[in-house]
Structure 1
Amino acid sequence: MSDFTNAVTAAETALRDLFPETPLQLNDHLSARYGTEIWLKREDLTPVRSYKLRGAFNAMRKAIDAGSTRHFVCASAGNHAQGMAFACRHFGARGTIFMPVTTPQQKIAKTRIFGGDSVEIVLTGDYFDQTLAASQQFAAENSAAFLSPFDAADVIEGQATVAREILTQLPAPPDLVILPVGGGGLSAGMTGYMASAAPGTEFIFAEPQGGSSLKQSLAAGVQVTLPKVDSFVDGAAVARIGDLPFARLRGFSADQVLTAPEDRLCITMLDMLNVEGVVLEPAGALSIDVLQDLHATGQLTGKRVVCIVSGGNFDFERLPEVKERAQRYSGVKKYYILRLPQRPGALRDFLEMLGPDDDIARFEYLKKSARNFGSVLIGIETSDPANLTTLTAKLDAAGFTYQDITNDDLLAQFLI
């Protein structure tokens, strides 16, 4: 075995002091839908509901064993912070966790619960880059170890324990593993371990469409820093793949990276919640979401597939947004700016065009100053996208002036 394989084995053995291996479950719902074996590696069932605990634990274990430090620092508003906090309490080590000032109270409270008296939370910076700079400066000034969420060898080694568990849980190695990608630590670790332990296993990587740093970097042959990132998939929305992860992943093809539209991810999240009772954060749904793309091209046929479910830290206050985005993507909810004539009966004329399954979800006058016409923001929900196609045909035939702003990001940001 390679040095890396031996190190991952040692990490996994030590990890059992913290929590048992996470379940690997054959999912009947997804297997029936796609006509093949779909297994879910449930990293949402660790004590902190994500795999991030593995890397944080391993890096801290090795630093403590080496006697180099017992004070650890990180910058995170999510799963990495909670993983480090939990590990700090386990080791009785000191942790200083920097979070942006804008971090939701729910995430701050959970991190405090996991870390107890072992951690201090410092709120600083409106943006994460400011928070990161402050944490690194603090670590340097206090001789503490800065704990990267993905760009460190010991963290990558800890994340690779997911692969080792999978190979002990299945009678034979999987044909295909689908890996969610943010900074790349999980992918670098798992592919590195399986390269020697299961060389026949293939890999597909799943990134959010608004944060495809690995795909673009592989296409360019060098690391690419994205000029803009959609932050909806907050567990994987990274502008630049990690240096060390990219060095380990650069041998893969950009064609092996699939991108999941953020709104489509919402459909997957709701499907898993309503059908399976599984609560997933957006990043945790990535590997499941891209199954439909692989199925459409026949890449799932006859294969045993493992999807890494990376996390389940979902704030239910976001559920209305998730439902809204899912409806808009599936075409059963649309928003229009409608120009109504300022005359008696004009609104009634519009309402009579609605079908029996069409429901007005939003109605708001935007401008009333014009003498002849007034602008209205109107949202329509229905049971079938075809109903809204029928509605727009009726509007056209009646000569109404309207604009569909459902997919206009700028207008939607201000009006919806």
Structure 2
Amino acid sequence: GAGAEVILHGDNFSDAQTYCFQLVQQSDMVFIPPFDDPLVIAGQGTVGAEILRQRGAGLEAIFVPVGGGGLIAGVAAYLKSIVPEIRIIGVEPFEADAMYQSLQAGKRITLPQVGIFADGVAVKQVGEHTFALCQQYVDEVVRVSNDEICAAIKDVFDETRSIMEPAGALALAGLKRKAAEDPGQGGAWVALLSGANMNFDRLGFIAERAELGEAREALFAVTIPEMPGAFQDFCTAIGQRVVTEFNYRLHRRDCAHIFVGVAIRNREDAAALLRQLRESGHQALDLSDDEMAKLHIRHMVGGHASEAQNERIYRFEFPERPGALMEFLEKLGGQWNISLFHYRNNGVDLGRVLAGFEVPDTDLQRFEDMLTRINYPNYPESSNPAYRFFLDQGDGPA
């Protein structure tokens, strides 16, 4: 209504900022920094003033989401000047931890790439002003996984029926991690919920990962003998636990491989179940922290490819937008036969593909040159235990 024009440019904050600088150079427009400006930081600091007015007594720690650092710099500078004993704790995703790395190094670090699941904090470099203030006033930065963020989104929904975006629930995820590490703390802890710009399509992915992030579900790969009574023995080993997922396919005549999800109380409970399975004579792997297993394998357990030759397995990532998958396929070209391909659109900002290529050793250098040329983040996964267990062309792990 005010006559402003919205321009969507780039796949992350750094791309958009670079384009803004270009517009400023080409015109008489003024660039208003989103976080690295003393007045913006001061405005963010009013959040600290509100917290102090609402809960002035007994405050021990404030957990603040960190992207470029504007919010935490303003809150920290204000609160430390009024109640210096209060702890200011920043929270970042492991895959977008520019402030954590910068404070560790004593200088601003530029990340080569950032994960954009929590897109509100997907910043490659923190601000100059914000970094200086954080060096002075911030006590600690805690890092959390995407699964922990999903669990925090679920917690907020369960308590308030409000749905946070990933960056919005980031601080609560950090508070929960800190509470688990040091449960004996007294006083009040506050987590800032910073936004609810949620795409509805993302909720399926978040719901799927929340139980893992809450340590309420564990994923296992289990080998059982292919013989009468073996399945019953396996169920006995699981006990009275709730099975959340069960995928089975005949592997060969002497054994079967199972991908199973089980409800647990905590990570220690998962470790105890793994020991129990092994003590009862089952080969078992805990895949709860295996990103490829959680993203791809659980949806495509389908047996080994005995005909595949010289198979090379890679994960790829690309910014999700209309046509992105076709663009990816076109860049791959048809030089090598694709023996495996898995892609799921989870409604998130990052497209993920698992692909297998039949590449003879004589073509390996040319294949690696192709990976460099297409310039997508890629991760070799041919040695991944989940792949070897369920999809490898051989017999799986010994």
TM surpasses 0.5: yes
| Match of residue 287, structure 1, among 138, 146, 171 | 171
1:98/1:135 contact within 8 Å kept: no
* Alignment-derived partner of residue 146 in structure 1: 31
1:174/1:201 contact within 8 Å kept: no
| Match of residue 407, structure 1, among 289, 303, 326 | 289
Structure 2 unmatched runs, 5+: 299-398
CA distance in 1, matches of 2:44, 2:100: 21
TM-score normalised according to structure 2 size: 0.61
CA distance in 2, matches of 1:298, 1:382: 20
1:176/1:201 contact within 8 Å kept: no
The answer to whether 1:354 aligns with 2:201 is no
CA distance in 2, matches of 1:250, 1:260: 20
* Alignment-derived partner of residue 181 in structure 1: 66
2:219/2:288 contact within 8 Å kept: yes
* Alignment-derived partner of residue 146 in structure 2: 262
CA distance in 2, matches of 1:296, 1:392: 23
Distance 1:193 1:401, change over 3 A: closer
* Alignment-derived partner of residue 257 in structure 2: 375
* Alignment-derived partner of residue 155 in structure 1: 40
Deviations 1:368-408 (A, max 9, x none): 4x454443333333567677556534532443323221212
* Alignment-derived partner of residue 277 in structure 2: 395
Give the 3-state SS of the residue equivalent to 2:108 in structure 1: coil
2:13/2:122 contact within 8 Å kept: no
Deviations 1:64-116 (A, max 9, x none): xxxxxxxxxxxxxxxxxxxxxxxxx4xx24233324xxxxxxxxxxxxxxxxx
Cα shift at 1:245: 0.9
Q: Give 1:224's aligned amino acid.
A: I
| Match of residue 206, structure 2, among 294, 313, 322 | 322
Alignment of 1:16-415 (within 5 A): 89=1, 92-99=2-9, 125-126=10-11, 129-167=14-52, 169=54, 176-194=61-79, 198=82, 200=84, 202-210=86-94, 211-227=96-112, 229-252=114-137, 255-292=139-176, 293=178, 297=182, 301=186, 303=187, 305-343=189-227, 346-365=230-249, 368=251, 370=252, 372-381=254-263, 391-415=273-297
2:238/2:277 contact within 8 Å kept: no
CA distance in 2, matches of 1:194, 1:249: 12
Q: Give 1:146's aligned amino acid.
A: F
Distance 1:334 1:175, change over 3 A: closer
More contact order relative to length (CA 8 Å, sep ≥ 6): 1
1:178/1:308 contact within 8 Å kept: yes
1:206/1:286 contact within 8 Å kept: no
In the alignment of these two chains, the number of paired residues is: 296
Deviations 1:213-242 (A, max 9, x none): 223222221112334544333322433222
CA distance in 1, matches of 2:291, 2:15: 27
1:207/1:236 contact within 8 Å kept: no
Q: Give 1:150's aligned amino acid.
A: F
Cα shift at 1:246: 0.8
Q: Give 1:378's aligned amino acid.
A: V
Give the 3-state SS of the residue equivalent to 2:107 in structure 1: coil
Deviations 1:111-147 (A, max 9, x none): xxxxxxxxxxxxxx45554444334323432432334
CA distance in 1, matches of 2:86, 2:265: 39
Q: Give 2:257's aligned amino acid.
A: S
Give the 3-state SS of the residue equivalent to 2:169 in structure 1: helix
Distance 1:389 1:277, change over 3 A: same
